[in-house]
Amino acid sequence: MSDHEDATGAAGSGTATTAPEPVTVVIVDDHRSFAELLRRALEMAGGFRCVGLATTADEGVACVRELQPAVVVMDIQMPGTDGLAATRSLRAACPHTAVAVVTALGTGEWMARAARAGASAFIPKDTPLAELVAMLREARPGRMQVAPSLLQIGATGDGRAHGLTPRQVEVLACISRGLDATSTARVMGISVGTCRGYIKAVYATLQVSSRIAAVNRARELHLIGS
């Protein structure tokens, strides 16, 4: 074989490596300083490319419609249209874009509202940066991730020791935050019927007949946080 053939063969046998496409992000938050800090943090983390910033929900919706990012970081409370109304609009207009609600409103009520609006993630603004970045990487339309610190699963106990599966404990954690069956199903990525089946099984195992009693019993067993 000639030197030319050797070189050609070596070149042909090599495998080209292509870096994965960065996750494109639009940040919608009326606090410009927070948006800029988050943009820089995501770009420093690697694997993200911020393609737009908006300070109102209406601007954000227009920006997302034009740029079609993979992920939108959406605040809730903003002047004019609120972030959850914008989330509903984007779920209809841009079904392949995941909307991650990043907010200072960390209660179960707001979590449930975000789930009903079609959010793909619910993340408190005080979530550690590494956790926030990881959740944004995984955000996909179809279900809603919730920051683990909000659900406080497995505070000190193991559900299996009390006859509960990990999924049943997850249901308990969701309903302890005030989520109904529909919102809980979205958080867990299951059907509403399956979720209701889990709730019935939890009641039977814990020998209770209401959500309040189930949550109180789970806290007594240290399966979920208070």
Are residues 74 and 164 both part of a single domain?
Answer: no
Tell me if 187 is assigned to some domain: yes
CA angle 112, 146, 63 (to 5 degrees): 80
Cβ-Cβ contacts under 8 Å for 68 (sequence gap 6 or more): 94, 96, 97
Tell me if 12 is assigned to some domain: no
User: What pLDDT band is residue 3 in, cutting at 50, 70 and 90?
Assistant: very low
| Full domain range(s) for residue 90 | 23-148
Tell me if 191 is assigned to some domain: yes
pLDDT single digits (tens) 81-111 = 999 999 999 999 999 999 999 988 877 788 8
Cβ-Cβ contacts under 8 Å for 183 (sequence gap 6 or more): 111, 112, 115, 116, 174
pLDDT single digits (tens) 7-18 = 444 444 555 567
Are residues 136 and 165 both part of a single domain?
Answer: no
The pLDDT value given to residue 142: 83
Are residues 94 and 158 both part of a single domain?
Answer: no
Are residues 116 and 36 both part of a single domain?
Answer: yes
Choose between 10 and 28: higher pLDDT: 28
Are residues 160 and 139 both part of a single domain?
Answer: no
Where does a domain end: 117, 148, 179? 148
pLDDT single digits (tens) 176-219 = 888 889 888 888 888 999 999 999 999 999 999 998 999 899 88
Are residues 208 and 169 both part of a single domain?
Answer: yes
The pLDDT value given to residue 156: 47
Are residues 110 and 79 both part of a single domain?
Answer: yes
Are residues 115 and 44 both part of a single domain?
Answer: yes
Choose between 28 and 158: higher pLDDT: 28
Q: Is the pLDDT of residue 4 over 50?
A: no
pTM of the model: 0.76
Number of domains observed in the structure of the chain: 2
Q: How far lies 18's CA from each of 138, 186, 198, in Å? A: 21, 34, 44
Tell me if 226 is assigned to some domain: no
Looking at residue 207, which CATH number applies to its domain? 1.10.10.10
Are residues 97 and 182 both part of a single domain?
Answer: no
User: What pLDDT band is residue 152 in, cutting at 50, 70 and 90?
Assistant: low
Of 81, 84, 60, 88, which is closest to residue 72 (Cα–Cα)? 60
Percent of the chain past pLDDT 90, that is, above it, reads 53
Where does a domain end: 129, 148, 167? 148
Mean pLDDT, the chain, rounded, equals 86
Where does a domain end: 123, 148, 173? 148
User: What pLDDT band is residue 39 in, cutting at 50, 70 and 90?
Assistant: very high
Are residues 119 and 66 both part of a single domain?
Answer: yes
Are residues 31 and 140 both part of a single domain?
Answer: yes
Are residues 69 and 54 both part of a single domain?
Answer: yes
Tell me if 18 is assigned to some domain: no
Looking at residue 138, which CATH number applies to its domain? 3.40.50.2300
Q: Is the pLDDT of residue 225 over 90?
A: no
